[in-house]
Amino acid sequence: MTYSIIYSVLLLASLGVTAAMVLYVVSKKFYVYENPLIAEVEDLLPAANCAGCGSPGCKAFAEKLVDTDDISDLFCPVGGNDVMQLVSEALGKEVAEKDPTVAVVRCQGACDVRPKTSEFQGPKSCAISALIYSGETDCQYGCLGDGDCVAVCKFNAMYMDETTGLPVVITDKCTSCGMCAEACPRDIIEMRPKHKRDLKIFVGCLNEDKGGIARKACSVACIGCSKCFDICPKEAITMVNNLAYIDPEYCTLCRKCVPVCPTDSIIETNFPKKKVKKVEVDQGAEVKSVNLIDHA
């Protein structure tokens, strides 16, 4: 009995030693070398793993940075220029600085301006809603309101406004990772330049229907009247498919387009209130004071 136990222990021990030796040989035989720079660069990245850089994670992005000779087209939106400068110093490669961007919601079809015409009694998901029907309103281009964008945001930079039924971006928390834009099946979220004081001007509508149909579905829809297009001094506005679009690359934030929009579909954020100038008009013996609004 005692010998059988000893033999069993020796047999198991010999099997363990043999297996360990085999694993050691295999590990050495098939060892994959990893450049130590990859770990160094990965430590410099913010570890958000948000895929905003185009890679599935920070380690994959670090590998791409190390293995690519020209990294001027590679950029970490979360870390921004500061992190990319550290990467440049670590790798000895030139990087291109980029202006910071922020997510904007190009739909202002709140409940009071875009009435519901149907009700979907199913899973509350924008992706599912977009696949099986056009939405609970007559606008088939606007926000579906189920919060897929909010659900994917890893930085708590978005929330759903209970009053409007629309997502709201918290600019100070937004890292420009772009995950919300990818999650939106209607493509209403766009990454736009973040100017000083977060000044932005953009068309808050994506409705491509003709004016009357668009206006019936949403009272603040773009009706394709081209008034903003005609008044823009920098040719920053284009008209495509009955819809105006303001190109942030050419827009100088002059705001001349804002007051001419008959449906108030152009959104301006964080601008100071327009100044009111008093001008005296001489009408014979009577002098009247007239208020003029300065849109400049």
Binding residue ranges for [4Fe-4S] cluster: 50, 53, 58, 76, 139, 143, 149, 153, 174, 177, 180, 184
Residues in a beta bridge with 159: 168
Q: What is the CA radius of gyration of the chain?
A: 29
- CA distance between the termini of the chain: 101
Q: Are 209 and 113 in contact (CB under 8 A)?
A: no
144 Cβ contact partners less than 8 Å away, ≥ 6 residues apart: 126, 129, 130, 135, 136, 185, 186
- Show binding-site residues: 50, 53, 58, 76, 139, 143, 149, 153, 174, 177, 180, 184
Q: How far is the C-alpha of 138 from the C-alpha of 218, rounded, in Å?
A: 8
20 Cβ contact partners less than 8 Å away, ≥ 6 residues apart: none
Q: How far is the C-alpha of 198 from the C-alpha of 88, rounded, in Å?
A: 28
**Do the strands 200-203 and 266-269 form a parallel or antiparallel pair, or are they unpaired?**
antiparallel
Give the DSSP per-residue string, 146-177. Answer: S-HHHHH-TTS-EEE-TTT-SEEE-TTT----
Q: How far is the C-alpha of 142 from the C-alpha of 216, rounded, in Å?
A: 14
**Can you say whether the dihedral through the CA atoms of 17, 20, 26, 27 is positive or negative?**
negative
**Can you say whether the dihedral through the CA atoms of 10, 12, 18, 20 is positive or negative?**
negative
Please enumerate, as own/partner, the contacts of 131-137 that have beta carbons within 8 Å and a separation of 24 or more: 131/185, 137/109, 137/217, 137/218
